Structure 1
Amino acid sequence: MGQVWWVIYPYLALAVMVVGTIYRYMYNPLGWGSKSSELLEKRWLRLGSLLFHWGILFVAGGHVIGLLIPKQVHQWLGVSDELYHLSADVLGGLAGFAAWLGVVILLLRRIFNRRVRLNSTPSDYVVLVLLFVVITLGDVVTMGHNNIYGPYEYRDTVGPWVRGLLTLHPDVGLMAQVPLLLQIHVIAAFALFAVSPFSRLVHAWSAPITYPMRAPIQYRSRTRYLDRQEEKSGTPANAGMTEGNRMRSSRQY
């Protein structure tokens, strides 16, 4: 079972994520996005979205530092084990709680707001529930287990195992020593990776890099446009309109 959970399952989930993401981008580019429901409800979306996105950004940064950077590098930089775990406990706990609160708000909004619920798909609920499970377990380990039983040194187990996955040499024995809650957290995270191509999570791969360089959208007054056309031609631009159409046109523009 160790080979199944810590070798076969992670690679299968990552393969589904990569292949599914490429397939969706190539064959369904118009469906690539977050399908914003802002027009249906704004107040709770604004609060939940801000909390979740800012929290998850800092959580992701903490995971990169803790899992992808070896413990020896931290020590070489002068970061003691005590300082590292204190920072992970305080900063990681705050970021994790913000992300958790944001997911709870977004999930309750999708369940109890009728307009949002009627425009939701099953994948919306699957993603939010998985996010809730993953973040809750991470918060329980960070703020609960580590403060009750002492900091768990995942940099000696989960970290090397993750780096082994990336280099195609995962050590199954490392994950056998990991607490059960953290094991479930990892399994749920890979499930989230696997379903991401089939949900709104694909927008995470679309960084708005070109947005600041994009040409501004210009809105021109139709009345001024018609006046200029009238000056050029010498005839009223709406001469061919009926009285009712002219009235509707003036109200519209």
Structure 2
Amino acid sequence: MNGFELFLWGILPYIVFTIFIGGHIYRYQKDQFGWTTKSSEFLEKKQLKIGSLFFHWGIIFVLAGHVAGILVPVEVYNALGISEHTYHIIAISLGYPAGIVATIGLIMLCYRRLTVKRIKATTSPSDWVALFAILLAVGTGFIATSFNIDSNGFDYRTTIAPWFRSIFTFQVQPELMVNVPIWFKLHMLATFVLYVVWPFTRLVHAFSFPIRYLGRSYVIYKRRIKEHA
């Protein structure tokens, strides 16, 4: 393993996650009013409704697949009697359609921002950066999956998965990434780009689920009565 590989898979992840965590803390302390989705629904609803629905539901299932494949050790599947072949078939059958749905939704959202004049005019540079980062991550992930669709393909659960988990135990194993196919390496680097820009864009709204809304009192609106002279 050369020094460049050591940097990419042994040092860079910590730089990225430091920016990711520190950036969110800084953003919350300095820009709480900007911590929002900056919804453009009032400017255009039809395309947003379909594109957002496709993208968010697709991403939810894609992330679920990542949790199952990256965070759950392969030994758990072996103990349950799930072979590599069976796991691969299940992952492709569920994950690939989810990736297609998410990609279609993302393309629709990008098309909407480019073609609806009022939305394009209100789109900030950080919005374009966020869209590019998401496109890069989703696109490289889709390509990597496409090259690995064969049932005898690369098993990332024995390389990428333990490498990723080792980052959080501070016993990183960069050597596990050396022989990983280039498509998966590009996908990992693309996700690093996404993590770096995340705290400084509208993507922060992903961590702002309004839990307090479930227990707060109803908002009561009263008609204003005009006073007559």
Give the TM-score category using the shorter length. over 0.9
Q: Distance in 2 between matches of 1:106 and 1:75?
A: 40
In the alignment, which of 196, 217, 223 is matched to residue 198 of structure 2? 196
Range moving further from structure 2, 202-211 or 86-95: 202-211
Q: Report how far residue 195 of structure 1 moved.
A: 0.5
> Match of 2:154?
152
Q: Answer yes or no: is the 8 Å Cα contact 2:85–2:151 preserved in 1.
A: no
Aligned mate of 2:187, from 185, 188, 191: 185
In structure 2, the residue matched to 1:234 is none
- Whole-Å Cα distance in 2 between the matches of residues 41 and 97 of structure 1? 24
Aligned partner of residue 154 in structure 2, secondary structure? coil
1:46-125 → structure 2 map (5 Å cutoff) = 46-125=49-128
Higher RCO, Cα 8 Å, sep 6+: 2
CA distance in 1, matches of 2:187, 2:156: 13
Q: Deviations for 1:166-190, whole angstroms, at most 9, x for unmatched residues?
A: 1111111111111101100000101
CA contact (8 A) 1:55 1:99 kept: yes
Measured in 1, the distance between the counterparts of 2:86 and 2:48 equals: 36
* CA distance in structure 1 between the aligned counterparts of 2:9 and 2:64, rounded to whole angstroms: 23
Structure 1 residue 49: Cα displacement: 0.8
The answer to which of 191-200 and 205-214 deviates more is 205-214
Cα distance change of structure 1 residues 9 and 115 upon mapping to structure 2, 3 Å threshold: same
**What does residue 14 of structure 1 align with?**
17
Instruction: Give SS of 1:210's match.
Output: helix
- Percent of aligned positions that are identical: 40
C-alpha contact (below 8 Å) 2:88/2:151 kept by paired residues: no
TM-score (norm. length: structure 1): 0.85
Q: Which residue pairs with 1:27 in the alignment?
A: 30
- Say which SS state the counterpart of residue 149 (structure 2) adopts: helix
CA shift, 1:137, in A, is 1.6
Q: Does the 8 A contact of 2:58 with 2:102 survive in 1?
A: yes
- SS of corresponding position for 2:111: helix
CA contact (8 A) 1:107 1:125 kept: no
Question: 2:163 matched to which residue of 1?
Answer: 161
Contact 2:144 2:187 (8 Å CA) reproduced: no
Q: Deviations over 1:16-49 (max 9, x none)?
A: 1111100110111111111111111111111111
Structure 2: distance between partners of 1:82 and 1:209: 40
CA distance in 2, matches of 1:215, 1:102: 35
Distance in 2, Cα, partners of 1:148 & 1:75: 20
Shift of 1:148: 4.8
Distance 1:149 1:178, change over 3 A: farther
Report the Cα distance in structure 2 between the residues aligned to 1:215 and 1:222, rounded to whole angstroms: 21
**1:149 Cα deviation from its structure 2 partner:** 8.0
How far, CA to CA, are the matches of 2:64 and 2:74 in structure 1? 16
The offset of 1:108, in angstroms, is 1.2
Q: TM-score, normalised by structure 2?
A: 0.94
Alpha-carbon separation, structure 2, partners of 1:222 and 1:172: 65
| Distance (Å, rounded) in 1 between the aligned partners of 2:223 and 2:115 | 41
Runs of 4+ more than 4 Å apart: none
Question: 1:211 and 1:79, CA in 2 relative to 1: closer, same or farther beyond 3 A?
Answer: farther
Kindly provide the amino acid, as one letter, of the partner of residue 111 in structure 1: L
Range moving further from structure 2, 152-161 or 205-214: 205-214
**Matched residue type, 2:31:** N
The Cα offsets for residues 207-227 of structure 1, whole Å up to 9 and x where unpaired, read as 22222222222222345xx7x
Correspondence for 2:133: 130
Equivalent residues of 2:40, 2:119 under 8 A apart? yes
